[in-house]
Chains A and B, each alone.
Chain A
């Protein structure tokens, strides 16, 4: 037999690699907390406020879980907002106009979401429409169905069980939607690491040709992933209807971008093959905390989109740079930090932090004045 000398052990950087997905959002969460500690500690650090943050985040957890798998296969689903609105409208009609029991309506809503996902998957795999265009077009179609069904009506006052799904609390424990959200994330983690679905999602995203050659039924698993995505969008529709205790056809307009942002911030690569469930959870929390911070600082609501956009660009740029460094990572983490590339990155991070911090402070000062005028 030939010699058995291992080439080299693991470098420190590689050991750190696994936690990288968490490091990004965690650092941003820490920065955000620090900033809020300086600016608005009294109103931000309250149990009731964290309750609000968690409930906001919970709504996105199921979708972030499924979107992590979708993006890991190099796919994308832009239709989830419309799927959520459509399923919530259908559920609303079933309980309000046709007297369905709440549990039947909820199960039908989730199944309808799964059906929408199935259609998305078939459009992509059978009709060979690229996922970006295919799900964008289906987004229009599902939104159209919702509008046709609901006209301009707002459906409201749902049974208390459905409201409980959206905003109920378990005494002495977490709110119901948070429990649902965390359960889906845990299920997602198990799917990602311990089932064929997760394993094949990575393989398909990493190297579709290789997956095909080794006998992975690529198209079938792509469809499965979209079905899961649709079902989770349906669940989110139910949760949204319960949370607001009202729903209309134009609800949930930016679910898709919000969820994609959370997943990407959490370290899942848009180029496929690399995903992180825990990272997605952290991403969802970060976005919820950021939006809550903007509200707490009395910055105008519309700045939310600007902040979300900035966070997406920032994270994708960050992870791309980290990947570049990966190529020549021989001398460990500290050596890697000293390469010119990463000095550059360090400067970039610092500048970004300063800009974002300045924006926050400016907004806070500015917003303080306008509230006085109001």
Chain B
């Protein structure tokens, strides 16, 4: 599914130390436009730290991040958003009492002027939100006027993703455990949303503990182990047994043989 030969994002030799603890050691990561890259690994393998460096939350101790060959210098999460890198958090960061549209535009509201005063343009935010959900994610909410907490898990996820993809210059979407709190039906819906985002040529990074979901949606899988990149495999050429083997550090052939 990789459309271009040049990676959209390439992280090179990323090392991150917190005091004396080394969370990441010389990790590389390549992400191509129009692909879903899954990052898997045991707890403490460095998945979250790596992603927080990519989204500007942490600064790497060593290493560089290139976007289309240019080096990125990011000091905060908003820098990352300016460069077209945004994340959807596991908690979705939605204000439950607001409508979906109000949530989508939270912090960057559309306004109109009236007698020199700035007022919220609720009507336009509502129609823009509806349009973004429909055109970019293929989702129609059961109502645009209810509070967000009355929507299902999948639809809440759609609102959170729509908030990220509304900014037309978004190039990279990072999703941290998108299916962790969802039932099977909502999980299927969420995976469809991820595919819809990929089809629009964005690079998507998914962190997940669920190998089933990873194999259902990803193009490539990067396996992290103890702060290092253990391997990168093509999803179509691998199996969950193999990936699991790399994750826990067993020799691949051995695991495969045991499995047979």
Interface residues of A (CB under 8 A from B): 1-10, 14, 190, 193-196, 199, 202-203, 205-207, 209-211, 213-216, 273-274, 326
Contacts and interface: CB of A to CB of B under 8 A. Distances in A.
A215 to B, nearest CB: 4
Interface string B94-119: 11111000100011110100000011
B134 interface: yes
B178 to A, nearest CB: 15
B120 A273 contact: no
Which 3 residue pairs across A and B have the least CB separation, nearest first? A1-B138, A273-B97, A215-B107
Contacts of A213: 89, 93
Given A4-B140, A214-B106, A10 B94 contact: no
A10 B106 contact: no
Contacts of B139: 2, 4
14 contacts: A2-B196, A4-B134, A10-B146, A190-B119, A199-B98, A199-B102, A202-B97, A203-B102, A211-B95, A211-B106, A213-B89, A214-B107, A214-B163, A273-B95
Given A5-B140, A193-B120, 17 more contacts: A2-B189, A3-B138, A4-B139, A7-B152, A10-B142, A14-B150, A193-B122, A194-B120, A199-B106, A202-B97, A213-B93, A214-B93, A214-B106, A214-B163, A215-B78, A215-B108, A273-B97
A2 B133 CA distance: 12
A10 B95 contact: no
A6 B118 CA distance: 34
B233 interface: no
Pick the most buried of A5, A7, A14, A210: most chain B CB atoms within 10 A of its CB: A210
Nearest to B163: A214
A6 B193 CA distance: 15
B140 A210 contact: no
A196 to B, nearest CB: 6
B107 A216 contact: yes
Contacts of A216: 106-107
B15 interface: no
Interface in B117-137: 118-120, 122, 134, 137
Contacts of B72: none
Nearest to A191: B119
Contact of A199 (B120, B134, B150): B120
Nearest to A207: B95
B97 A7 contact: no
Nearest to A72: B97
A194 B119 contact: yes
Contacts of B137: 2
A2 B185 CA distance: 14
A196 B138 contact: no
A318 B89 CA distance: 35
B97 A196 contact: no
B143 interface: yes
Contacts of B111: 196
A47 to B, nearest CB: 37
A207 B94 CA distance: 7
